[in-house]
Structure formats: C-alpha cells, structure tokens
Amino acid sequence: MDCPILVWMLFTNREMTKEDDNPVAAASRARSMIGYHTSYDHNLVGMAMTQGRREDVVNIGIGIKELTAPPGMSANDFAISLYHKLTPTEQAFIAPEQGEEIVMRRLCLLLALKQAYIKAIGQPMGFDWSRLEFNIPEKIATGDGRPLAGWEFRVWTAELGWPVPDTEDHIEQKYQCACAFFRRTRDTRFIWQNDSKELESWVQFITLDQLLNVADKLVE
C-alpha cells in the first residue's frame, strides 16, 4: 500500500538538503518551509508536521504517552512518583480518590501536553516540567505563571492492536497524544479530537509495513 504523503515529505526534505548552496532554493525555503517534530512511547511513533513561512512553522511539537503504568505499579503510585513534574493544581486534578482509570488518563494527558510544548520550544527533556501548568477544567495553560498566549493544543487518543501468534488473543494498547503549535493568536486554544472522521482530516496512521513498502522510493 503506497503512502504518497510520507514519500513527498521525505523526498522534499532530501531535495531541500541537497540544494543548500542554491540561492534560489534558499529564497524559496524562506517563503515555504516544513516544520516538524517527532515523539514516541513504546510501540507508537508520531510526527507533527506543518508547512509555511519559517517563523510560522518552527514551533510545533508532539507528545505521546501510553495509557498504562509500569509493571508492578498502580496508577496512583505511578502518578505520585511523577508529582515533581506537576504543579499543586495538576496534582489535585489527579488525586487518588478519582480512581485508577481516571488518574491514569488525566496523568497521561498532562504529560503529553507538557512534552508537546517542551518539544515545540526546542527544550531538552531535562527541562523543569513543573514550570508549566495545564489547568484542564479551566482550559488555561501557563509557563512560569504567565499565560501561553498564541498556542494551540490538539488532543486525541490512538489505539493499537495486533493478534498473538498461535492464539485467539489480541494485544491492545492505548496512547494519549497531544500536539502543540504556536499560531500567534491572543489566547490559548484547546481542541479535543473525539470524532474519528474529523481526526482523519489531519492525522494519518501508518503501519511499519506501509513504511517499508515506500522505503525504496526514497532512494530513487
């Protein structure tokens, strides 16, 4: 199965790299560039990509967190172990009395949002995550106490599944995903992508087999 979008994206990046010494190509890139960032967790790899003027595409990031605690840990214990990355408001949002499932879902949401923003501003993962606060009920995002004006955060979930060989069982995994993109607006915007049809308009899922099927076209 072909994946023309992926081929175009990688081919374009390769050709742009070849033309670094071409002044015409350099001028063209100044008008239109591709900004992207990648992230992964366990079996899911994601890329957020946009095209436009350099100043409009450089601040984009993606965060991915699997909706599960490490083996041998409950969701509440896992959340408590990450309190150093959260503000008091965020800690209250994932209080143990909310229940294991809700705590896990909310924790991964906060971590995915923070990861996406940190990547979008070009900071390493050693960045102090507690400097950021996502007040989900109020739809407010701040950094060092200041509103993150101009930022758009898109949130969605992804599900993976595959059969277990020689059995009738299936393995299923769920991931919380978030994309941070600086749009230069006056406010902070959250978009919750709950409708699968709407999500398909801008998110494309690609399997490893699909990627391998187009790999040879990238070196033609």
Largest CA distance in the chain: 61
Place of tokens 């705590």: 103
Spatial distance between the Cα atoms of 196 and 73, rounded to a whole number of angstroms = 32
Name the CA radius of gyration of the chain, rounded: 19
Spatial distance between the Cα atoms of 141 and 220, rounded to a whole number of angstroms = 45
CATH classification of the domain holding 102: 3.90.470.20
Number of structural domains found in the chain: 1
Range of the domain at 115: 4-219
Per-residue pLDDT of the chain (220 residues; tens, 9 = 90+): 344 444 434 444 444 445 455 655 555 555 677 777 788 888 888 888 777 777 777 788 999 999 999 999 999 999 999 999 999 999 999 999 989 999 999 999 999 999 999 999 988 878 999 999 999 999 999 999 999 999 999 999 988 877 777 777 888 889 999 999 998 888 999 999 877 777 777 787 777 777 777 667 656 5
Mapped onto helix, strand or coil, the DSSP state of residue 137 is coil
